[in-house]
Chains A and B, each alone.
Chain A
Amino acid sequence: MVIVVFKDELIEELKKKVEKWEKECVQEELKRHPERQKEFKTLSGIPVKRVYTPLDVQHLDYFKDLGLPGEYPFTRGIHTTMYRGRFWTMRQFAGYGTAEQTNQRFKYLLKEGETGLSMAFDFPTIIGLDSDHPMAVNEIGICGVAVDTLADMEIIFDGIPLDKVTTSMTINAPTPVLLSMYIAVGEKQGVPMHKLGGTVQNDALKEFIAQKSYVFPPEPAVKLVTDVIEFCVKNVPKWNPISISGYHIREAGATAVQELAFTIADGIAYVEAMLERGMEVDEFAHRLSFFFASHNDFFEEIAKFRAARRMWARIMKERFGAKKPRSMWLRFHTQTSGVALTAQQPENNIIRVTIQALAAVLGGTQSLHTNSMDEAWALPSEKAVRIALRTQQIIAHESGVANVVDPLAGSYYVEWLTDKMEEEAMKYIDKIDSMGGMIEAVKKGFPQREIAESAYRFQKEVDEKKRIIVGVNEYIDEEEKLEIPLLRVDPEVVRVQLARLKKVKESRDNERVERLLGELRRAAERNENVMPYVLNAVKAYATLGEIMGVLKEVYGEYQELIIF
């Protein structure tokens, strides 16, 4: 690092010293005590050395590569004072069963000190089917809450003032519908849309890559993403209209480098699509937000978060010519790694989550979800959720890590690894660029194939005990009996949901619904922004399935490539 501390002659001296140490001390030591492994690697497979010194970071320029917190390239954080000003938002993903149950869970979480809501939808909702669709019936309310019409959203947010909380919705293809419903609930509460705060995931590309709750083919899917971004920038200015997500990419088996690379490449694709619509980069870029996973390899995760900020700042400034610093900010939410949770000895997951959460905080996250210990078995119980939230509160209030901004900066290892992550991720991004961008890469199955490859390699390493997972392939408890209470979804939810949907369909003005759906269809055919039309349809209690049905007729449906 070209910091004045290390002058050239000192670097030369250090080089000699390190060589001598390697040759003499290390070799001596190895004869007496061989190391545990022949080669040490990060969780993502990056080989790491025994020790890092100023030699490993001498190429870095403090001013260009690090800077100060709140300054370009934002490696050290997007805010000047970070958590000294305020802690990250503690945001636990929740939602299951009926709208009423989800409303209760939200109120419980707010009472326990949570500062933002995060909404989980059931699978039929996620892929845009109504609860009365034949494919939906078995999955109503199971993995999240079912939303068919505005009536459900009115119940979910009953008694929750939308001008006081922010809400994150994990929804993608049907984003225009769910966001419209939220706007409509706000209006009914007397909260105009420009006062609403929150996030929709709205990241279509990662659906093809990893999460697989796609509906439309890639081009129209991205078109709808940009409809939402444009609408929000103009009408819902405090809303994050997209959360460009690496989380699902990682969970599907990607390495940290792949997660970083594919997420940033997705971001590039959205920026390009927005520019093609004729918007200026500084008009919308400050509203883009990101979402990453935090896995077990502590330093690798921290390096990934730091590298992500630096890469995005550079790309926005150099590639897209952004002028405003805010356009260069990579603001991100983090969730601890679901795949790192073990079904065996689930209490151990509390420790894993703590390590992962700590990495996210040291990496400078803006908000955090900590997983509950029982999630390798089922949706979390209330007690498990409370422990997960308490984990964040202990890190915030007791550990002291939030008192200093980016405290690991200057660590030879962390700086070297941050740089390495960026370098490796940029190789992928160059490759994706040469394929014609992420939309083309997805159509060719490139990221899908890379991820499948990594997932398989990882499983083999675990099976061969090249990687030890406590309680799974080592320290196994053969006598283990599961002693954590599991949450079960009451099958009553199916009856309640179907009854409500039926009632709404009977009591609404069906002619008006038909007319508004027709207007939506014509707008989509003219390639207009669909948001205002969806909003009108939603207010007339058109169902999610009806609106998505119209859009599917216009835009078509995606057929997946089979790759394994």
Chain B
Amino acid sequence: MSSTEKKIKVLIAKPGLNGHDRGAKVVARALRDAGMEVIYTGLRQTPEQIVETAIQEDVDVIGLSILSGAHMTLLPRVTQLLKEKGIDDVLVIAGGIIPTEDVPKLKEAGIAEVFGPGTPLQTIIEFIRKNVKRKR
């Protein structure tokens, strides 16, 4: 990275009530070690809070971690709120316990990619670098 280039800024968020944060933290750490600037929201976030933080922190990427089974309601709500606020240049990705058959519906709703259990960290890092919409 050249000195004039800005770091990719990522918000790792835990929508909903589940406390399973192992994956979120491991990914947050990996992205930080890969040279990105990472903010972790902590637990029990509403989609509204996540979008609010994303705007305030001016992030390029939102990574949503969810293992509660409530992904079909909470994840599309995040992308919908972004759309309502006219934000179309933030890359939204997700990870957690998400059945394969739900993935096409989530993608339709604007989640760029869903990373299930067993995904190598490098895959996520590369996906972000390749697909980040904003040029810093």
**B70 within 8 A of partner (CB):** yes
A376 with B97: in contact, given A456-B26, A472-B118, A473-B120 (CB under 8 Å)?
yes
**B73 within 8 A of partner (CB):** yes
Complex Cα–Cα for A489 and B70 (A): 10
Complex Cα–Cα for A214 and B74 (A): 22
**Nearest CB in chain B: distance from A245 CB, A:** 13
Q: Which residue of chain B has its CB nearest to the CB of A482?
A: B100
CB of A123 within 8 A of CB of B17, answer yes
CB of B118 within 8 A of CB of A124, answer no
CB of A486 within 8 A of CB of B99, answer yes
Residues of chain B having any CB pair with chain A under 8 Å:
16-22, 24-26, 28-30, 32, 38, 40, 42-44, 46, 68-70, 73-74, 97, 99-101, 116-118, 120-122
CB of B118 within 8 A of CB of A342, answer yes
Binary per-residue interface labels of chain A (135-174) against chain B in the complex, 1 for a CB within 8 Å, 0 otherwise: 1101100110000000000000000000000000000000
Binary per-residue interface labels of chain A (465-481) against chain B in the complex, 1 for a CB within 8 Å, 0 otherwise: 00001001100000000
| A-B contacts, 9 listed (Cβ < 8 Å) | A123-B68, A134-B46, A343-B118, A377-B97, A377-B99, A456-B26, A456-B29, A469-B118, A564-B32
**A61 within 8 A of partner (CB):** no
Additional pairs, 13, CB under 8 Å, beyond known A139-B69, A459-B26: A123-B17, A126-B17, A127-B17, A138-B16, A139-B17, A143-B69, A211-B19, A252-B21, A472-B118, A489-B69, A562-B40, A564-B24, A564-B32
CB of B44 within 8 A of CB of A135, answer yes
CB of B43 within 8 A of CB of A560, answer yes
Q: Which residue of chain A has its CB nearest to the CB of B117?
A: A343
Complex Cα–Cα for A288 and B22 (A): 28
**A251 within 8 A of partner (CB):** yes
- Report the count of interface residues on A (CB-CB < 8 A): 45
Complex Cα–Cα for A120 and B97 (A): 17
**Among B17, B25, B68, B117, residue most surrounded by chain A Cβ atoms (within 10 Å):** B17
**Nearest CB in chain A: distance from B22 CB, A:** 5
A251 with B17: in contact, given A142-B68, A143-B68, A560-B43 (CB under 8 Å)?
no
**Nearest CB in chain B: distance from A67 CB, A:** 38
**Nearest CB in chain A: distance from B31 CB, A:** 10
CB of A138 within 8 A of CB of B25, answer no
Complex Cα–Cα for A379 and B28 (A): 26
**A460 within 8 A of partner (CB):** yes
A343 with B42: in contact, given A142-B68, A455-B22, A482-B100 (CB under 8 Å)?
no
CB of A452 within 8 A of CB of B29, answer yes
CB of B121 within 8 A of CB of A459, answer yes
Binary per-residue interface labels of chain A (342-364) against chain B in the complex, 1 for a CB within 8 Å, 0 otherwise: 11100000000000000000000
**A463 within 8 A of partner (CB):** yes
**Nearest CB in chain A: distance from B123 CB, A:** 9
CB of A342 within 8 A of CB of B121, answer no
Q: Which of A251-283 contact B (CB under 8 A)?
A: 251-253
Q: Which residues of A contact B22 (CB under 8 A)?
A: 251-253, 339, 455
**A58 within 8 A of partner (CB):** no
Complex Cα–Cα for A546 and B61 (A): 38
Complex Cα–Cα for A376 and B44 (A): 22
CB of A135 within 8 A of CB of B117, answer no
CB of A455 within 8 A of CB of B17, answer no
Q: Which residues of A contact B16 (CB under 8 A)?
A: 123, 138-139
CB of A138 within 8 A of CB of B30, answer no
Complex Cα–Cα for A134 and B68 (A): 16
Of B18, B25, B30, B101, which contacts A143 at CB under 8 A? B18
**Nearest CB in chain B: distance from A424 CB, A:** 22
Complex Cα–Cα for A376 and B20 (A): 13
Of B20, B29, B100, which contacts A564 at CB under 8 A? B29
A212 with B21: in contact, given A342-B117, A376-B97, A564-B40 (CB under 8 Å)?
yes
Q: Which of A369-397 contact B (CB under 8 A)?
A: 376-379
Q: Which residues of A contact B42 (CB under 8 A)?
A: 560, 562
Q: Which residues of A contact B40 (CB under 8 A)?
A: 562, 564
CB of B17 within 8 A of CB of A456, answer no
Q: Which residues of A contact B20 (CB under 8 A)?
A: 212, 251-252
Complex Cα–Cα for A139 and B15 (A): 11
**Nearest CB in chain A: distance from B15 CB, A:** 9
Q: Which residues of A contact B43 (CB under 8 A)?
A: 212, 560
Complex Cα–Cα for A339 and B40 (A): 22
Complex Cα–Cα for A376 and B101 (A): 14
Q: Which residues of A contact B38 (CB under 8 A)?
A: 564
Complex Cα–Cα for A462 and B119 (A): 10
Complex Cα–Cα for A252 and B26 (A): 10
Q: Which residues of A contact B18 (CB under 8 A)?
A: 123, 139, 143
Q: Which residues of B contact A251 (CB under 8 A)?
A: 20, 22
Complex Cα–Cα for A469 and B40 (A): 28
**A213 within 8 A of partner (CB):** yes
Q: Which residue of chain B has its CB nearest to the CB of A486?
A: B99
CB of A142 within 8 A of CB of B70, answer yes
A135 with B46: in contact, given A123-B68, A143-B68 (CB under 8 Å)?
yes
Complex Cα–Cα for A435 and B60 (A): 40
Q: Which residues of B contact A143 (CB under 8 A)?
A: 18, 68-69
Q: Which residues of B contact A564 (CB under 8 A)?
A: 24-25, 28-29, 32, 38, 40
Q: Which residues of B contact A472 (CB under 8 A)?
A: 118
Complex Cα–Cα for A472 and B29 (A): 21
Q: Which residue of chain A has its CB nearest to the CB of B17?
A: A123
**Nearest CB in chain B: distance from A227 CB, A:** 23
**Nearest CB in chain A: distance from B14 CB, A:** 9
**Nearest CB in chain B: distance from A308 CB, A:** 22
Q: Which residues of A contact B118 (CB under 8 A)?
A: 342-344, 469, 472-473
CB of B29 within 8 A of CB of A139, answer no
Complex Cα–Cα for A463 and B33 (A): 14
Q: Which residue of chain A has its CB nearest to the CB of B44?
A: A135
Q: Which of A459-508 contact B (CB under 8 A)?
A: 459-460, 462-463, 469, 472-473, 482, 486, 489
